[in-house]
Structure formats: structure tokens, C-alpha cells
Amino acid sequence: MPYAEVSVNSPAAGRSAYSYELPAGLTVRPGQAVLVPFGPRVLQGIVVEVSETPRFDDTRQLSGIIDPPLCLTPQQLTVGMWISRHYLAPLFPSLALWLPPGFERSAESVFTRSGLDIGEIPLSDLESNFLATLDTRVPTDQKTLEKRFGKVAAQKAIRHLLGHGLIERRYRLQAIKVKPRLEKIAHLRIDTEKAQQAAAGLLKRSPKQSAVLRFLANSRGRLSVTEIRREFGEVNAILSALVNKKLIEISMEESRRNPRLPAAVELPMAHTLTPAQSAAVSVVTAGIDEAKGEAFLLHGVTGSGKTEVYLHAANYALKQGKQVVVLVPEISLTHQIIERFTARFPGRVAVLHSKLSLGERFDQWRGIAEGDYDIVIGPRSALFAPFTNPGLIVIDEEHEWAYKQQDTPPLYHAREVARRLALETGAALLLGSATPDIETYNKAERGEYRLLELPDRLTPHPSAPLPPVTLIDMRDELKSGNLSIFSRKLKAEMESALKNGEQVILFFNRRGGATFIQCRDCGEVLKCRHCRLPLGFHPVENRLVCHHCNAQYRVPTVCPVCKGSRIKFIGLGTQKLEEETKKEFSGARVLRWDSDAARGKDSGYQIFDDFRAGKADILIGTQVVARGLDLPRVGLVGVINADTALNLPDFRAGERTFQLLLQVAGRAGRGEFPGRVVVQSYQPSHYAIAAAVAHDFKTFYQKELEYRKILGYPPFNKLAVLTVQHLNEADGLQLAHDLKKTLELERDSTGVSGIEFIGPAPAFIPRRRGKYRWQVIVKGRNIVEFLSKTNLSSSIGVDIDPLGLD
């Protein structure tokens, strides 16, 4: 008798699958979405394996297949199971990444009448009535029956009738909340080539009809009337005329809720590639042909033409009948790449992102599954688009932290999952960045990824150099009596830029704001004596804490290095900066773009569009402005506080700072004005700052690698963070101590070597939702293997390959 091993949608199921007996006559495949009894309820599940013998005795019967049937592909199943294993994450959520939006719902019972004759079976009036309302084919759900006959009576009748085999019970998912919507659609009645000819013919006599016809032909011959109206205004008369000419027809169809896409500003013209681009494209297309899941790292400064390489590689994959996934760190910040894809491949691009409504997401998902689109662009979750034959996976700005899932398990990293998916499906994986992740670059160095380089910047002035960067030591400003946020140099540069009609970006690093203590005279940041990491300042207790080893220090009144008394924490926000800027540059129009200002659904686009359209002179922004925006009128970029992020208690602080500075600097000089950058810092000699100012990735990489090696950080070791939470601070700490001790005993008794446990220490956010959070850091080579063998309680948070140690 066949059995199915099923991953069940219940928090109690954890990382395990459960064995179920298949009812006679039912066959299922691995990957199939099913319903199974679990405790007193019937829950969703996914079959991970079908076998002749159950893994556990004492199995229950599988309830049935979810209707309409849905089955993960073998590749999807394999990748989902890998996610659960590698990230020590519960199994169902790891597999559910592949399910359509809104799929996770509870099941309800539905009933049909069986073929059995009533014969001698004694039935009450209510039961006869009950039976008469049921059809033999169309099922009725239990809720409806309970409404009609009363809850208790209906349940009693169900038991009785089921017992006699007069009715049959099945399970189906509760009605989905997203319903298809109807909409007017215009179709071509002739092929697109003929339509172009017809449009040319109409050009003289009826230019509007010609334009609409061409628009339809360019959109693969099918568009909603709403979309046409958006482009041309009122079009009813024009459409009727085209219908009368038998060129198009109009019908009511299920609509796909189309999310607002940024207007295409670039013509879909393909550039002639530079030799470096050509070389990169041909290596990647060979990878697409070989279909071995090879990975490539495309390293090139901003503006070196990486996106153009993605577009050409994508074009090639599409020509081979394959599909393309493009991951971007955050949709609202990267709409230029979307514009370029939608302009180059009109009608073929689906855009997924978290701000879409459930209905919009469902429609996009279904459109992808039904083959309406062959390119999907989106954040990390777009990796799980239902493509059957992906040929290329692009990850733009691969170093960005947004690719790691935070908070809700599985805490996966899209780059690592994409690597698995590529190996399973044979798709080529193309990672692009101006400032690759240290670990990624190290893999490229060791040959695991193939390194492709674009050495030159392609600005409107050919081979324009990277903008010159001036580094200002803010300690000197203080010494000469300038207490302003702006150094004298930055102020002067801003004044001349504004006079010149150039736009200015002021970058403010929000991360690490008021979390550390720094001497304003010598720039010294207080660090832990043992760990050399900056100490976190806890204002409530007024003490300094090492987030690594939990050593505690009093807040000193004088600087331990220079004995100066201006030791204070840095606390400046974007709003304060906005005020100061308006005060200093009174005639200038100032826009602020941070996560507060960009909270609305489209306001991210709005601020950006306004600035690009020249509606402001100065844009003040946090991390968001550092990303790939093409702003041709920006001549000057000022970095207000280059080093605040260096002082975070995190081994990646240097890398983050370097990446940000280089990206911000890349915003200047992309258009008509030669760019220049002014960087203000209290630690100008730190290697991350010095290398960023010199636009020197290689030097930074070497220094950073040395540092990581000395301290045993990735890529030399793997890390995991285990987090314990408790309402009581001391009890939480005790739990964390116990956890560490248990793990140490386990390590010593199994003879595993090279694994070390650090802490416990308060988490970077030491208290969340009323609970104290303590963490133990696990460092070593085979930590996943080790941890998966230990019996970690499900209440412990596990983060494998954490990004920040926070």
C-alpha cells in the first residue's frame, strides 16, 4: 500500500514530514498539494515523497487532493527542501514560497450524495430533507448546510448519513478572497505585422486610429481599453472605427489587475555593446546554452553598462524559449531597471512586489503560471515565480541586504537560493554589483563563480572618469571653530553648484545614528576591550554594552585617548538636516527622501520623479538615494556622515560603509555636469573610507579579507545567531546560558571540532514586543550540520548566515 510523506501547514510540524496512508484509488505525486488530518483538524500539506513503507507506524489516511490540483515541480520541491535544511527552517513555509499568493487557507468540508440507495436505512425527516438538498456531483459546503438545518442538527445528520455511506465528504480550501474581475479588452484581428502596415496606411487620413493600432501592435496585439485610454484619452470613437474596419475586436474578459508601472522614458533601442560588454554577454549566453547552472559575477562601477548586459542576456534566453527572473533589492528604488526591461520587452514583463494588493499579486502569479509573461522582475520573493523553464536568473546589486529574508522563517538569502535553483534547473545565474559582497567576490576569486568585469564608465561623455572625491576631516572643522553640520568645503561647493543650476544630493547615513559614543575631538569611538567592536550605548540604563560578549562599561566623561571632554553620542536625524539645510541655503528648494517620506504606495516614485523633473535643487536622503538612480542633473553629492555605520557592533560595518559610499559617489556626474563628491568623516584614515574615496574595490577587498581572517569571520567561517526571548531579563539570560552550555556539551561529546559559541549577549535590539532578547553566536565550519543534529527548541530563533549581528 502506498504512503505519502507530507509536509503539513502547522507550526507544530516543524522541520518534519508526516506519513499518511493513501486512500484506495488515489494517486499523488511528490510536490502535490493535499489535505491531511493533523490533530483534530484537516490542514494543507505538500507531498514530499511517495513510498511503499511509511516512515512512522500508526499512520492516518490522507484526506484528499486540493482542488484545483497544484503540484510543485521536482526542482521546486528540491529547492524548498534545501531551504528548510540549510536554514534550519520549518518545512512547510520553505515549500510554501512556491505557492500562489493567497493559497494558504484553511480547509472546509464539502458533501455530495453517494450513489447508494436509501433502501432500508431509517432516516428522520430532517435527514431525508438533508439528503435531498445534496447533488451527486456539485458539492455543498458544511457552512451552507449548517445555516439551513441548524449547526447541531446538521452535524448529527452528517454523522448518520456518512456512517451509512449515503453521502461523501471531501475537503476543499475556503473560497479565495481574490476574485477575477471583468474588463474590456481590445484585440487585433490581424497579425501584428499586418497591423503595422495598416497603421502606416491610416497615418495620413486618421492619425489617431493609426497611433492606437500601432500601440496595440506593439503590445502583442492585446490591451485593455483602460490602458489605451490612459495613453490616448477618450478613445471610444476611434476604437469603434477600428472595429468597423475589422482590424480589431473588443470583448469582455477576466482582467489582470495591472500594477502601476513607471512610465517608460527610454526608447527600446538596444545599444551596440562595448567590447567588455560583448565579452560578458557571450560568456553568459554560453552559460545559458550549456544549462549547467553556472554562476557569474558581473563586477562594474555604476554606469559601466551592467543593465545593458542583463538586457542582452535576457533577450538571448527568451529567444531560446526560456524564462528570465530579475531580482532587484527593492522595487520602489529601482524602477529604472523596470523601465528598461518593460521598454525593451513590452508586454512580457511581470512585476511583483510587496506593495501590490493580494488581488494584483494573484493575477500576476497566475499570468506567469499561464505563460503570459516570460520575464519577472521583483524583490527576493520573485525568485519563486512559477516558471517551468528558467534560463537566466539576474540578481542586480547582489550585495544588498534586502536579499536576505528577516524576521519570518525561512530566513533565506535569495542569492544562495538562486544558486540552488540554478543548479537544479540549469539556469545561468548572473550577479551584478559595483561593490560585490566580500563573500561573493571571494567565491569568484576561488573559481566558484566566474568573474566578468566592466572596467569603464559609460556616461554621455565617453569614458568620463569617476567623480573626484574630496575627503573632509570633521575634527579639523571643529578645531577651527566650525560647529555646523556642513564643512566649509561642502558649503562652498553647494553654493557654487546651486548657482550653476546643478542639483545636489546630500546623503545622510541613518544606520548607527545614536548607538555609539564618539569623541568629537579625536574621533575615537569607544570599543570593547575584548572584542574590539564598538560598544552600544543604552540610554535608559546609561551604560555601554558589548553586543558580542556582554561586557558592560560606564559612560566616561572624558575621552580615554585624548582626554578631551567633548565626548558625546552623535544624534542627528534627516529632519534636523532638512531644517539646517533650509537655513543655510535659504533660496534652495529642498526635498527629503527617507523611509518616513516614502511610506505611501507610490510616493517613492513621486519624490524621485519630482527631483528628476527639476522640481527641487537639493535632495536629502538616506540609504534610498544611494541606489541605482540615474539623475543627469546632479553635479554634487555631499556625504554628511560617512562613518556612523562603521561604528555598528557588526563585523560587516566596514563593508557596508564602503558599499554605501561608493554607491552614493556614483550618483554624481552621470549626465551633463562633471560630478564631484565631498565626504565628511571623523575617521578619514579608516581603510573602508580611504578605499571608497579612491574608488578602489580591490584594496578594500584585500584589507577586509585580512581583517575577517584574523577574527575568523565569513568567508573563513560560517556564523549562526541563536536568539532566546523572555519576558524576564534575568530568566532570558539564564535560558541563553543554558542553551550555550547544552551546545558545548553536545559539541564535546560528539567530538566535533572547530565550533565556538560566543555570548550570551543582548541582541542589537535588546527588547522587542515586551520580551528581552539574548543571543548566542555560533561560529565555525560545519555549523549547519552540527546544529541540525542538536535538538533545538522551536522557541529559539535560528538565523544561519546572518547579515548584521543584530
Do β-strands 771-780 and 755-768 pair in parallel, antiparallel, or remain unpaired? antiparallel
CB of 281 to ligand ADP, least distance (A): 10
Q: What is the Cα–Cα distance from 106 to 213, expressed in whole angstroms?
A: 47
Q: Which is nearer to Zn ion, 220 or 530 (CB)?
A: 530
Residue 465 exposure: Cα atoms within 13 Å on the Cβ side? 7
Residue 507 Cα to chain centre, angstroms: 23
CA distances from 188 to 217, 290, 467, 603 (A): 7, 38, 50, 36
CB of 520 to ligand ADP, least distance (A): 37
Binding site for Zn(2+), residues? Answer: 519, 522, 528, 531, 546, 549, 559, 562
> Which cell goes with 18?
508526516
> Pick from 4, 186, 427, 531: which binds Zn ion (CB under 5 A)?
531
Residue 344, interface with ligand ADP (CB under 6 A)? no
CA distances from 256 to 178, 223, 344, 374 (A): 11, 11, 21, 16
Q: Mask of contacts with ligand ADP, 667-706, x by CB under 6 A?
A: ----------------------------------------
> Pick from 75, 210, 307, 550: which binds ligand ADP (CB under 6 A)?
307
Cβ atoms 805, 650 nearer than 8 A: yes
CB of 248 to ligand ADP, least distance (A): 34
Residue 274, interface with ligand ADP (CB under 6 A)? yes
Cβ atoms 275, 305 nearer than 8 A: no
551 binds, among ligand ADP, Zn ion, none (CB under 5 to 8 A by kind): Zn ion
Name residue 465's amino acid. P
Q: Give me the residues paired with residue 413 across strands.
A: 404
271 binds, among Zn ion, ligand ADP, none (CB under 5 to 8 A by kind): ligand ADP
CA angle 270, 660, 510 (to 5 degrees): 130
> Which cell goes with 364?
500576476
CB of 579 to Zn ion, least distance (A): 37
Q: Which is nearer to Zn ion, 528 or 763 (CB)?
A: 528
Residue 528, interface with Zn ion (CB under 5 A)? yes
Q: What is the Cα–Cα distance from 430 to 227, expressed in whole angstroms?
A: 33
Q: Which is nearer to ligand ADP, 166 or 624 (CB)?
A: 624
Residue in 733, 661, 660 with CA at minimum distance from that of residue 693: 661
Residue 104 Cα to chain centre, angstroms: 20
Residue 433, interface with ligand ADP (CB under 6 A)? no
Q: Which is nearer to ligand ADP, 670 or 686 (CB)?
A: 670
Q: What is the Cα–Cα distance from 717 to 709, expressed in whole angstroms?
A: 9
Q: For residue 613, give every residue at least 6 positions away whose Cβ sits within 8 Å of its Cβ, in sequence order, or none.
A: none
Pinpoint the alpha helices (H) of 169-244: 192-202, 207-218, 225-232, 236-244
> Pick from 5, 127, 294, 308: which binds ligand ADP (CB under 6 A)?
308
> Pick from 113, 160, 214, 306: which binds ligand ADP (CB under 6 A)?
306
Q: Which is nearer to Zn ion, 628 or 804 (CB)?
A: 804
Residue 273, interface with ligand ADP (CB under 6 A)? yes
Q: Mask of contacts with ligand ADP, 286-305, x by CB under 6 A?
A: --------------x-xxxx
Residue 95, interface with Zn ion (CB under 5 A)? no
Local structure of residue 270 (DSSP, 8 states): P
Cβ atoms 174, 107 nearer than 8 A: yes
Residue 775, interface with ligand ADP (CB under 6 A)? no
Q: Mask of contacts with Zn ion, 547-566, x by CB under 5 A?
A: -xx-x---------------
Q: Mask of contacts with ligand ADP, 617-656, x by CB under 6 A?
A: -----------x----------------------------
How many other β-carbons are positioned within 10 Å of the β-carbon of residue 676? 19
Residue 458, interface with ligand ADP (CB under 6 A)? yes
> Which cell goes with 243?
472595429
Which residue ranges make up the site for ligand ADP (CB under 6 A)?
271-274, 277, 300, 302-308, 458, 628
Give the footprint of Zn ion on this chain (CB under 5 A). Answer: 528, 530-531, 546, 548-549, 551
